[in-house]
Structure 1
Amino acid sequence: MNASRANTGSRQLTGRCVCGAVHYEVADAFDYALNCHCSDCRRATGSAFKPFAGIAREKLRITEGIATAKIFGDAAANHDVFCGICGSRLFSVVDNGTRVHVTLGTLTDAPAIRPTAHIFVGDKAPWFQITDALTRYDGHLS
Protein backbone atom coordinates (compact mmCIF):
# COMPACT_ATOMS: atom_id res chain seq x y z
CA MET A 1 0.00 0.00 0.00
CA ASN A 2 1.21 3.47 -0.74
CA ALA A 3 0.85 6.04 2.01
CA SER A 4 3.02 8.70 0.39
CA ARG A 5 1.56 11.91 -1.02
CA ALA A 6 -0.30 11.46 -4.31
CA ASN A 7 0.87 13.59 -7.25
CA THR A 8 -0.95 16.90 -7.20
CA GLY A 9 -0.71 17.81 -10.89
CA SER A 10 -4.43 17.26 -11.46
CA ARG A 11 -7.74 17.23 -9.66
CA GLN A 12 -7.80 14.80 -6.75
CA LEU A 13 -10.66 12.36 -6.28
CA THR A 14 -11.62 10.73 -3.01
CA GLY A 15 -12.93 7.27 -2.36
CA ARG A 16 -13.79 5.09 0.59
CA CYS A 17 -15.10 1.76 1.77
CA VAL A 18 -18.74 1.12 2.75
CA CYS A 19 -18.21 1.60 6.50
CA GLY A 20 -15.98 4.68 6.08
CA ALA A 21 -12.98 3.26 7.95
CA VAL A 22 -10.64 3.46 4.92
CA HIS A 23 -10.39 6.54 2.70
CA TYR A 24 -8.10 7.17 -0.26
CA GLU A 25 -7.18 9.95 -2.66
CA VAL A 26 -6.26 9.47 -6.31
CA ALA A 27 -5.40 11.82 -9.17
CA ASP A 28 -8.16 12.25 -11.74
CA ALA A 29 -5.65 11.31 -14.44
CA PHE A 30 -6.56 7.71 -15.20
CA ASP A 31 -4.91 6.13 -18.24
CA TYR A 32 -7.79 3.76 -19.04
CA ALA A 33 -11.09 2.46 -17.68
CA LEU A 34 -12.64 -0.93 -18.40
CA ASN A 35 -15.43 -3.25 -17.30
CA CYS A 36 -13.94 -6.62 -16.30
CA HIS A 37 -16.15 -9.72 -16.51
CA CYS A 38 -13.57 -12.28 -15.28
CA SER A 39 -14.70 -14.70 -12.60
CA ASP A 40 -12.29 -13.24 -10.02
CA CYS A 41 -13.70 -9.71 -10.43
CA ARG A 42 -17.27 -11.04 -10.35
CA ARG A 43 -16.59 -12.92 -7.11
CA ALA A 44 -14.72 -9.97 -5.54
CA THR A 45 -17.57 -7.54 -6.25
CA GLY A 46 -20.56 -9.87 -6.08
CA SER A 47 -21.80 -8.38 -9.34
CA ALA A 48 -21.78 -9.11 -13.08
CA PHE A 49 -18.57 -7.15 -13.67
CA LYS A 50 -16.08 -4.78 -12.05
CA PRO A 51 -15.71 -1.29 -13.52
CA PHE A 52 -12.16 -0.07 -12.83
CA ALA A 53 -9.72 2.62 -13.90
CA GLY A 54 -5.94 2.24 -14.14
CA ILE A 55 -3.28 4.69 -13.00
CA ALA A 56 0.34 4.71 -11.79
CA ARG A 57 0.56 3.46 -8.21
CA GLU A 58 2.21 6.63 -6.88
CA LYS A 59 -0.88 8.65 -7.82
CA LEU A 60 -2.99 6.97 -5.12
CA ARG A 61 -2.62 7.17 -1.36
CA ILE A 62 -4.64 5.97 1.59
CA THR A 63 -5.57 9.04 3.63
CA GLU A 64 -7.40 7.41 6.51
CA GLY A 65 -7.49 3.92 7.99
CA ILE A 66 -4.22 2.54 6.67
CA ALA A 67 -4.04 0.19 9.68
CA THR A 68 -7.53 -1.09 8.82
CA ALA A 69 -6.72 -1.70 5.15
CA LYS A 70 -5.86 -5.32 4.40
CA ILE A 71 -4.10 -7.04 1.52
CA PHE A 72 -5.18 -10.15 -0.36
CA GLY A 73 -2.41 -11.55 -2.53
CA ASP A 74 1.33 -10.91 -2.79
CA ALA A 75 2.10 -7.70 -0.87
CA ALA A 76 5.33 -7.26 -2.84
CA ALA A 77 3.64 -7.55 -6.25
CA ASN A 78 0.01 -7.99 -7.35
CA HIS A 79 -2.69 -7.78 -4.67
CA ASP A 80 -6.09 -6.37 -3.74
CA VAL A 81 -6.58 -3.79 -0.99
CA PHE A 82 -9.79 -4.00 1.01
CA CYS A 83 -11.27 -2.76 4.27
CA GLY A 84 -10.63 -5.15 7.15
CA ILE A 85 -13.95 -4.17 8.74
CA CYS A 86 -16.57 -4.11 5.96
CA GLY A 87 -14.63 -6.02 3.27
CA SER A 88 -14.98 -3.41 0.49
CA ARG A 89 -12.45 -4.01 -2.32
CA LEU A 90 -10.99 -0.56 -2.93
CA PHE A 91 -8.29 -1.14 -5.53
CA SER A 92 -5.95 -3.74 -6.98
CA VAL A 93 -2.19 -3.33 -7.28
CA VAL A 94 -1.11 -4.80 -10.65
CA ASP A 95 1.82 -4.94 -13.08
CA ASN A 96 4.20 -6.11 -10.33
CA GLY A 97 3.27 -3.22 -8.06
CA THR A 98 3.61 -0.36 -10.55
CA ARG A 99 -0.08 0.39 -11.24
CA VAL A 100 -3.41 0.38 -9.43
CA HIS A 101 -6.85 -0.51 -10.73
CA VAL A 102 -9.30 1.59 -8.73
CA THR A 103 -12.73 0.04 -8.30
CA LEU A 104 -14.87 2.86 -9.71
CA GLY A 105 -17.79 2.13 -7.38
CA THR A 106 -15.65 3.10 -4.37
CA LEU A 107 -15.02 6.64 -5.64
CA THR A 108 -16.92 9.40 -3.82
CA ASP A 109 -16.18 11.85 -6.64
CA ALA A 110 -16.97 11.22 -10.30
CA PRO A 111 -13.87 10.69 -12.46
CA ALA A 112 -13.46 12.35 -15.85
CA ILE A 113 -12.89 8.96 -17.50
CA ARG A 114 -15.55 6.40 -18.43
CA PRO A 115 -15.06 2.72 -19.28
CA THR A 116 -14.25 2.24 -22.96
CA ALA A 117 -14.51 -1.55 -23.29
CA HIS A 118 -15.56 -4.83 -21.71
CA ILE A 119 -12.79 -7.36 -21.04
CA PHE A 120 -12.99 -11.09 -20.33
CA VAL A 121 -16.39 -11.24 -22.00
CA GLY A 122 -15.61 -14.90 -22.74
CA ASP A 123 -15.85 -15.45 -18.98
CA LYS A 124 -18.90 -13.27 -18.27
CA ALA A 125 -21.82 -14.43 -16.17
CA PRO A 126 -24.29 -16.32 -18.39
CA TRP A 127 -27.22 -14.55 -16.73
CA PHE A 128 -25.90 -11.07 -17.66
CA GLN A 129 -26.46 -9.43 -21.04
CA ILE A 130 -24.22 -6.57 -22.19
CA THR A 131 -26.49 -3.97 -23.74
CA ASP A 132 -24.12 -1.10 -24.55
CA ALA A 133 -22.03 -0.56 -27.68
CA LEU A 134 -18.60 -0.61 -25.99
CA THR A 135 -15.92 -2.78 -27.61
CA ARG A 136 -15.78 -6.33 -26.26
CA TYR A 137 -12.73 -8.54 -25.75
CA ASP A 138 -12.81 -12.24 -24.86
CA GLY A 139 -9.76 -11.73 -22.61
CA HIS A 140 -7.33 -8.88 -21.99
CA LEU A 141 -7.12 -6.01 -24.47
CA SER A 142 -5.26 -7.12 -27.57
Structure 2
Amino acid sequence: MQSYTGKCLCGVVRYRIDAPIDQLTHCHCSMCRKAHGAAFASYASVPLEAFHFMSGKDQLGVYHSSAHVTRTFCIRCGSNLQFVDNREHELGVAVGTLDSPLPAPPQTHIFVDSKADWYEIRDELPQYNGDSPR
Protein backbone atom coordinates (compact mmCIF):
# COMPACT_ATOMS: atom_id res chain seq x y z
CA MET A 1 0.00 0.00 0.00
CA GLN A 2 1.19 3.51 -0.84
CA SER A 3 1.91 5.58 2.29
CA TYR A 4 3.07 9.16 2.83
CA THR A 5 4.12 11.05 5.94
CA GLY A 6 4.24 14.72 6.73
CA LYS A 7 4.43 17.26 9.52
CA CYS A 8 4.10 20.92 10.36
CA LEU A 9 7.09 23.29 10.41
CA CYS A 10 7.93 22.71 14.09
CA GLY A 11 7.27 18.95 13.82
CA VAL A 12 4.76 18.66 16.67
CA VAL A 13 1.86 17.70 14.37
CA ARG A 14 2.69 14.58 12.37
CA TYR A 15 0.47 12.60 10.04
CA ARG A 16 0.37 9.60 7.72
CA ILE A 17 -1.64 9.06 4.54
CA ASP A 18 -2.38 5.45 3.63
CA ALA A 19 -3.53 5.91 0.04
CA PRO A 20 -2.11 6.96 -3.30
CA ILE A 21 -2.10 10.68 -4.00
CA ASP A 22 -3.50 10.93 -7.49
CA GLN A 23 -4.54 14.57 -7.75
CA LEU A 24 -3.18 17.99 -6.76
CA THR A 25 -5.04 21.27 -6.96
CA HIS A 26 -3.55 24.73 -6.86
CA CYS A 27 -6.31 26.92 -5.44
CA HIS A 28 -6.23 30.62 -6.29
CA CYS A 29 -9.29 31.69 -4.24
CA SER A 30 -8.82 34.66 -1.92
CA MET A 31 -9.30 32.55 1.22
CA CYS A 32 -6.54 30.09 0.24
CA ARG A 33 -4.24 32.98 -0.69
CA LYS A 34 -4.75 34.60 2.70
CA ALA A 35 -4.50 31.33 4.65
CA HIS A 36 -1.17 30.45 2.98
CA GLY A 37 0.22 33.95 2.45
CA ALA A 38 1.03 33.04 -1.14
CA ALA A 39 -0.34 33.33 -4.68
CA PHE A 40 -2.13 29.99 -4.29
CA ALA A 41 -2.41 26.96 -2.02
CA SER A 42 -1.51 23.46 -3.22
CA TYR A 43 -3.52 20.56 -1.84
CA ALA A 44 -3.43 16.78 -2.31
CA SER A 45 -6.85 15.17 -2.25
CA VAL A 46 -6.96 12.06 -0.03
CA PRO A 47 -9.83 9.92 1.30
CA LEU A 48 -10.84 10.84 4.87
CA GLU A 49 -10.28 7.29 6.10
CA ALA A 50 -6.71 7.30 4.74
CA PHE A 51 -5.55 10.29 6.83
CA HIS A 52 -4.17 9.59 10.32
CA PHE A 53 -2.60 11.89 12.90
CA MET A 54 0.48 10.26 14.40
CA SER A 55 1.15 12.97 17.00
CA GLY A 56 0.18 16.48 17.95
CA LYS A 57 -3.56 16.28 17.28
CA ASP A 58 -4.03 18.26 20.52
CA GLN A 59 -1.91 21.03 18.93
CA LEU A 60 -4.25 21.38 15.98
CA GLY A 61 -6.12 24.63 15.54
CA VAL A 62 -9.26 24.89 13.43
CA TYR A 63 -10.77 27.76 11.54
CA HIS A 64 -14.22 27.49 9.96
CA SER A 65 -13.64 29.61 6.86
CA SER A 66 -17.16 29.01 5.48
CA ALA A 67 -20.32 27.07 6.27
CA HIS A 68 -18.87 23.80 4.96
CA VAL A 69 -15.09 24.25 5.18
CA THR A 70 -12.70 23.85 8.11
CA ARG A 71 -9.02 24.67 7.77
CA THR A 72 -6.53 23.19 10.22
CA PHE A 73 -3.16 24.48 11.34
CA CYS A 74 -0.53 23.91 14.01
CA ILE A 75 -1.13 26.26 16.94
CA ARG A 76 2.61 26.38 17.70
CA CYS A 77 4.13 27.23 14.32
CA GLY A 78 1.06 28.20 12.26
CA SER A 79 1.61 25.69 9.44
CA ASN A 80 -1.51 25.18 7.35
CA LEU A 81 -2.27 21.47 7.22
CA GLN A 82 -5.74 20.59 5.91
CA PHE A 83 -8.74 21.82 3.98
CA VAL A 84 -11.80 19.84 5.07
CA ASP A 85 -15.13 20.24 3.26
CA ASN A 86 -17.81 18.48 5.31
CA ARG A 87 -19.77 17.70 2.13
CA GLU A 88 -16.95 15.52 0.76
CA HIS A 89 -15.48 12.13 1.67
CA GLU A 90 -11.95 13.40 1.17
CA LEU A 91 -9.80 16.20 2.48
CA GLY A 92 -7.09 18.40 1.10
CA VAL A 93 -3.64 18.07 2.64
CA ALA A 94 -1.28 21.01 2.19
CA VAL A 95 1.29 19.44 -0.12
CA GLY A 96 4.15 21.52 1.25
CA THR A 97 3.85 19.66 4.57
CA LEU A 98 4.62 16.25 3.03
CA ASP A 99 7.98 14.69 3.89
CA SER A 100 7.66 11.69 1.59
CA PRO A 101 8.65 11.96 -2.07
CA LEU A 102 5.65 12.54 -4.31
CA PRO A 103 5.72 11.67 -7.99
CA ALA A 104 3.96 14.38 -9.99
CA PRO A 105 0.27 13.41 -10.13
CA PRO A 106 -2.22 15.20 -12.39
CA GLN A 107 -2.63 18.82 -11.32
CA THR A 108 -5.08 21.64 -11.95
CA HIS A 109 -5.45 25.31 -11.12
CA ILE A 110 -8.83 26.12 -9.56
CA PHE A 111 -10.67 29.38 -8.87
CA VAL A 112 -8.40 31.19 -11.32
CA ASP A 113 -11.08 33.85 -11.80
CA SER A 114 -10.06 35.21 -8.39
CA LYS A 115 -6.29 34.73 -8.65
CA ALA A 116 -3.90 37.40 -7.42
CA ASP A 117 -3.59 40.15 -10.03
CA TRP A 118 0.20 40.18 -9.57
CA TYR A 119 0.59 36.47 -10.39
CA GLU A 120 0.64 35.01 -13.90
CA ILE A 121 0.01 31.30 -14.43
CA ARG A 122 2.69 30.20 -16.89
CA ASP A 123 2.26 26.44 -17.04
CA GLU A 124 0.07 24.30 -19.26
CA LEU A 125 -2.00 22.73 -16.47
CA PRO A 126 -5.81 22.82 -16.83
CA GLN A 127 -7.45 25.92 -15.36
CA TYR A 128 -10.96 26.28 -13.95
CA ASN A 129 -12.81 29.40 -12.82
CA GLY A 130 -14.46 27.37 -10.06
CA ASP A 131 -13.63 24.03 -8.54
CA SER A 132 -12.33 21.32 -10.84
CA PRO A 133 -14.87 18.89 -12.28
CA ARG A 134 -14.78 15.45 -10.69
Output the TM-score relative to the length of structure 1. 0.84
1:66-94 per-position Cα deviation (integer Å, ceiling 9, x unaligned) = 111122128xx631121011111111112
The one of 43, 57, 62 equivalent to 1:66 is 57
CA distance in 2, matches of 1:115, 1:42: 21
Aligned-pair distance for 1:115?
A: 4.6
Which amino acid is the alignment partner of residue 55 of structure 2?
E
Give, in whole Å, the separation in 1 of the partners of 2:69 and 2:39: 23
Instruction: Indicate conservation of the 8 Å contact 1:57/1:93, yes or no.
Output: no
Q: Residues 32, 125 of structure 1: CA spacing in aligned structure 2 closer, same or farther, 3 A cutoff?
A: same
Aligned residues: 131
Aligned equivalent of 1:90, options 81, 84, 88? 81
Partner residue, 1:52: 43
Residue of structure 2 equivalent to 1:117:
108
Match of residue 105 from structure 1: 96
- Structure 1 unmatched ranges of 5 or more: 1-9
SS at match of 1:136: coil
CA RMSD of aligned residues (A): 1.7
Aligned-partner Cα distance in 2 for 1:135–1:97: 22
State the match for 2:10 in structure 1: 19
Instruction: Compare 31-40 and 16-25 and name the one that shifted more.
Output: 31-40
Identity %: 34
Moved more, 40-49 or 23-32: 23-32
**Off by >4 Å, runs of 4+ in structure 1:** none
Q: In the alignment, residue 141 of structure 1 is paired with which amino acid?
A: S
